[in-house]
Amino acid sequence: MRRLVGLNFARLRKEKGFTQERFAETSGFTQQYVSDLERGRRNPTVVTLFHLASPLGVTPADLLAEADQSETN
């Protein structure tokens, strides 16, 4: 689950044109947290998912969505 959240977050962050550093500045999370999250080393709470999703303009559920099979092949 941590890996899935990390992969979804990284994809959405890039789609929205954020670097890790810029997302950190905008959101209040540290760049290290963002990096760890994307590598599956963080286990975000439900509240954290909300705060991660908001600057991206997505829902917390978007961070939990299963990857489309065409994206993983």
Tell me the whole-structure pTM to 2 decimals.
0.89
For 61, other C-beta atoms within 10 Å of its C-beta total 9
pLDDT the model gives residue 70 = 44
Q: What is the pLDDT of residues 6-44, one digit of tens each?
A: 999 999 999 999 999 999 999 999 999 999 999 999 999
- The angle formed by the CA atoms of residues 8, 14 and 20, to the nearest 5 degrees, is 95
**Which pLDDT band holds residue 50 (cuts at 50, 70, 90)?**
very high
Residue 41 identity = R
pLDDT the model gives residue 71 = 52
64 has a pLDDT exceeding 50 = yes
In order of start, what are the domains of the chain with their CATH numbers? 1-63 (1.10.260.40)
Report the C-alpha gap between 49 and 61 in whole angstroms. 8
